[in-house]
Structure 1
C-alpha cells in the first residue's frame, strides 16, 4: 500500500464481498500496530469517533440516528428539490455560457447544496465546508503537524456550525441530532459533532461520482441520449455506480484466520479489498469494461459493491443514485449537445478521490 505496509489484495467479487461483510475482518485501523493505507497523516483515521472508524454496538447505535434521514423513503421526498437544484444549476450554466467547468459549476454545487439542506445548515457554510473537505482530501497524506492542524481547524469549524444550529434549530438532520441529545440523552455533544462532520465529508462524495460518470457519459452520445428518456434511469444510475464506485478500495484486518473463496487470510493480515476490481469481475458482469445502461437491473442494483456491503454500507446510497438520475436526465433534456471539451487522456485526476479536478464541457 502507499504506506509501505504489505496487504493481501482481494480483487474477485466473491472475495471482496466477504471481506466487506464478514465480522472477522475489522475496520478498526487505529491501533499503533494497525495497518495504514497512507504513509502520512490520514484525516479519516484522525478522528476516532467518526462512524467509518467504529465497529460493534457503538457503531450500530450511532448509525441508527442518521439512517432514517437517508432512507429511500426520505430521499423520495427530497426528489423534487434535487430536480429543482439541477434545473437551477443548468439555468446558471446557460446564463454564463459555454465553455464551463462541470466540477465547479455543477457537480460540486449540486452535492454541496443538497447536503447542506439535508443537514439544515446555511448554504454559505455548506460551500465553505465543501471546499474544506476537498482540501483535506488533497492534503490527506501530508506529513507533519500542518496536516493535523488543518484537520483540527476543520473539526472546530464544524463544532461552531453545530452551535449555530443550536441557537436557531430547524428541520435538518443536525437539529434532529441535537434534539436527541437534549431530550433523550441518546447522544453526547462530541457524538453530535462527529456525526455532523462525517455527514459533511460524505456529502462531498457524490460530486466525485457524478464527475467520474460524466467522463463516461459525455464521451458517448448514445449513453447521454439514454438519460433523455423517461424509463430505465434507476438501472442506468446503478450501472454508472458499478463503473465508478464510491470507494475504490477498503482496508480491513483479519481478527482470526478466514477462508475466502480464493484462499486463506491469516489473523493479523491486512486485506485491501478492491471494490473497483470486484465491480469489473467478468464472472459476475459480462463485458465488465463496457458501460451498458440497460444492463440487467438485478445484477446492477442488487449485486454491485459501489456502496460497499455489510455494516459500513454507504448511508448516502439513495442520495447518490437520486443525484445521478436527476443530473443526467436534466442535462440530457435541456442541454442535448453537452459534450467534453477535453481529450479524456488529458484529464487531470485527483490522487486520492480518483475524480477529475476540472472537467471542461461545451454545448
Structure 2
C-alpha cells in the first residue's frame, strides 16, 4: 500500500509542515534514517498519526524504556473521559468497520490496561512459560526441517521465495497448533492476517468479521470436545471459572494471539535472513559458531526487527516527559526503531554485530517492548528465530539472494518492517 494523497491513510501527508506524519514516504522507505533524524531533533517530537491527529513521538532509548514502564501512560482512552475512542477509534472508522466489530479491536489485550490487562495476560501466560516453550522446541525443529526439505519443490528457475514458503508457514503452524486452529483453516488465517495488516479498508472490513465468526464457531465446536490446547483453556475459563472471560475477550485473545503470533515472527525470520545474506562476515560467524544463535536473534531483533513503534499510549494526567509538557489525553508514540539505533546507548548502532548482545544478560533492546506490555510471545519468537536461522543455513550453506539487495521490496506499512518477498537460490 503506497502512502499517497489518494489513499485514505495517506491523504493527510504534508498538511502540517514540520510535523512528520507516519505515512510519509521517506519514513516508510527508510525508517532507520528518517526516525533517526527525528531522534537527533529531540527526545520528544511533535508529529501526526494515521488520521492526522497530533501525537508525541518519543525517540531515544532511555526515554522509550521509561515510558513503556510508566503506568501513567495507558493504552485505552476509556479511563480518560474522552469524547471518542481516540485515533485508534477513528482509524476503525476509516477502515469502514461496523460498529459491532469495534469492541473486538478496542477491547483486545493490546489495548487494555490494568487490571483487565493483568487478568487477560494471566489467562494465557501459562501457554508461554519458559518450560512450555522449551518443551515445544522439538516440534518447532520438526516443522522447520520439513519446510526446508520441501523448498526445492517450490523453486522456479532455481529461485524460491523464503517469505512465502518458509518464513510464514513456520510460525503460523506453530501458533495454530498451540492455540488449536485446525490445519485445514490455516491458509485462510494466513490470508486474513495479510488483509488485517495491510490497513486496506476493503480487505480489513471484509476479513475481520469473517475471522470473528470463525473463532465463534471454533469455540462452539471446542465446547463439545475439549482438548489440551489454549482454545480449550480459554473455553474453560469462560464457562467454568466464574466468568473471568467474556465472549468478546475470548475471541479477541484468539484473534490477537494468532495474528501477532505469526505475522511478526515471520518477518523476524525474513528480515534476519536477508540481513545475514547481505552481511557475509556475520553469516560466517554464525555458521562457525551455532552457539551464537541466541545472541544473534537479539541483535537481528534490534537491527531489523519487524515492529518499529508501539501501540499509541495516552497520558492519564499532565506529565513532564523529557522536558516536554504532555497534557492528559495526549497521544504518545514510542519509536522502537529510533531507540534501537540510539548512539547514546549503542556503540556504532548502524553496524550489524551478532556478538553485541552479552550472553546470558537481560535484553539490551526494545524490539519486544518493555514493561507491562512486553511481548507475551517473545520467548517463542526468539526460539523460532534461532531454530529457523540455524537450520536454514545448515541445510543450505550456499544460500544466496536471487536479486540485488536494493531490489528487495518492502511493504509500505507504518510501524512495520517487512519484505514482500525474499527470492533466494538454494
Q: Same fold (TM over 0.5)?
A: yes
Closer, same or farther in 2 for the Cα pair 1:18/1:298, shift >3 Å? farther
Quote the Cα distance in structure 1 between the aligned partners of 2:353 and 2:291.
15
Quote the Cα distance in structure 1 between the aligned partners of 2:417 and 2:303.
13
How do residues 190-209 of structure 1 correspond to structure 2 at under 5 angstroms?
Answer: 190-204=248-262, 205-209=264-268
Please report how far the alpha carbon of residue 60 of structure 1 lies from its aligned counterpart in structure 2 after TM superposition.
0.6
Q: In structure 1, the residue corresponding to 2:424 is in which secondary structure?
A: strand
Quote the Cα distance in structure 1 between the aligned partners of 2:147 and 2:286.
17
> In 2, are the aligned partners of 1:113 and 1:126 still within 8 Å (CA)?
yes
> In 1, are the aligned partners of 2:128 and 2:380 still within 8 Å (CA)?
yes
Closer, same or farther in 2 for the Cα pair 1:11/1:300, shift >3 Å? farther
Match of 1:35 among 83, 87, 92: 87
Report how many residues are paired: 360
Q: Which residue of 2 aligns with 1:131?
A: 191
Quote the Cα distance in structure 1 between the aligned partners of 2:334 and 2:292.
30
How do residues 1-363 of structure 1 correspond to structure 2 at under 5 angstroms?
Answer: 1-29=49-77, 32=84, 34-36=86-88, 38=91, 40-41=94-95, 47-97=105-155, 98-138=158-198, 140-142=199-201, 147-185=204-242, 186-204=244-262, 205-228=264-287, 229-250=289-310, 251-261=312-322, 263-297=324-358, 301-352=362-413, 353-363=416-426
Closer, same or farther in 2 for the Cα pair 1:344/1:3, shift >3 Å? farther
Quote the Cα distance in structure 1 between the aligned partners of 2:96 and 2:274.
28
> In 1, are the aligned partners of 2:306 and 2:417 still within 8 Å (CA)?
no
Closer, same or farther in 2 for the Cα pair 1:227/1:253, shift >3 Å? same
Quote the Cα distance in structure 1 between the aligned partners of 2:163 and 2:103.
27
Please report how far the alpha carbon of residue 246 of structure 1 lies from its aligned counterpart in structure 2 after TM superposition.
4.3
Greater shift in the superposed pair: 205-214 or 298-307: 298-307
Q: Deviations over 1:249-271 (max 9, x none)?
A: 12212121222335332322222
Q: Deviations over 1:49-94 (max 9, x none)?
A: 2111111111110110111211222111111111111111110113
> In 2, are the aligned partners of 1:42 and 1:141 still within 8 Å (CA)?
no
Greater shift in the superposed pair: 78-87 or 158-167: 158-167
Is there any run of 5+ residues in structure 2 with no aligned partner, and where?
1-48
Closer, same or farther in 2 for the Cα pair 1:262/1:333, shift >3 Å? farther
> In 2, are the aligned partners of 1:29 and 1:53 still within 8 Å (CA)?
no
Quote the Cα distance in structure 1 between the aligned partners of 2:361 and 2:343.
13
C-alpha RMSD of matched pairs (Å): 2.3
> In 1, are the aligned partners of 2:77 and 2:329 still within 8 Å (CA)?
no
Please report how far the alpha carbon of residue 220 of structure 1 lies from its aligned counterpart in structure 2 after TM superposition.
1.9
Quote the Cα distance in structure 1 between the aligned partners of 2:95 and 2:216.
22
> In 2, are the aligned partners of 1:237 and 1:325 still within 8 Å (CA)?
yes
